[in-house]
Structure 1
Amino acid sequence: MRTAFAFATALLLSATSLAHAGNSDAEVYTYGTELDIASVLSIKLEPTPFCRVTNAVMTYRDSTDQVRKLSYRTLSESCKTEN
């Protein structure tokens, strides 16, 4: 439940000026981007010791079995331990 909420929050907090977190081949998520995610292979977050919005890149397989990357904004891992 918490993971689903974090992922939904990540998608809602996306911005068009998002840095690609070192992955120039990643598609930048914007509101209305149609997602075709069959399975998630990895999620990488920019590390930060503070609870704040940060960049993330999700690597996934779509329904045609192609590996794709999507960059988006999300809350940092530090937020998991804060109220």
Structure 2
Amino acid sequence: MNTKAIYAACLFAALNICTLSARAEAADVTAKTYTYGTHLDIKKVLSLKEDAAPSCGVVNAQLIYLDSQHKTQVLDYRKFADGCNADN
């Protein structure tokens, strides 16, 4: 068998294992709801999502991040929709 094909197969398998473990870790995390004064320990932001809003207004949003212990955390909060920026 070709050496390059073996290396490619090993790399593909390693990437799949890393992806599965990351998904398993994210699935175990329960979302916390932000309240005023909540201490945030954010080392790295992984993703930001918000509900689709047809116009300017308050929407639900979610922040997924790594804390200083490299654990995945999920934070639910409310914010003005990104579409509101054009209304100023």
Q: TM-score, normalised by structure 2?
A: 0.64
> How many residue pairs were aligned?
60
- Which segments of 5 or more consecutive residues in structure 2 lack a partner in the other structure? 1-28
CA distance in 2, matches of 1:82, 1:31: 26
Q: Specify the alignment match of 1:3 in structure 2.
A: none
Q: Give the whole-Å Cα distance in 2 for the aligned partners of 1:65 and 1:78.
A: 32
Residue number in structure 2 paired with 1:30: 35
Name the amino acid aligned to 2:67.
D
Aligned residue in 1 for 2:68: 63
Q: Which ranges of 4 or more aligned residues in structure 1 deviate by more than 6 Å?
A: none
Distance 2:85 2:48 in 1: 16
Choose between structure 1 and 2: higher helix proportion. 2
Distance 2:51 2:44 in 1: 22
Residues 8-19 of structure 1: pairs in structure 2 closer than 5 A = none
Match of 1:43 among 40, 48, 57: 48
Does 1 or 2 have the higher relative contact order (CA < 8 Å, sep 6+)? 1
**Counterpart Cα distance in 1 of 2:80 and 2:37:** 20
Q: Percent identity of the aligned residues?
A: 43
Unaligned segments of structure 1, at least 5 residues: 1-23
How well do the aligned residues superpose, as a CA RMSD in angstroms?
Answer: 1.4
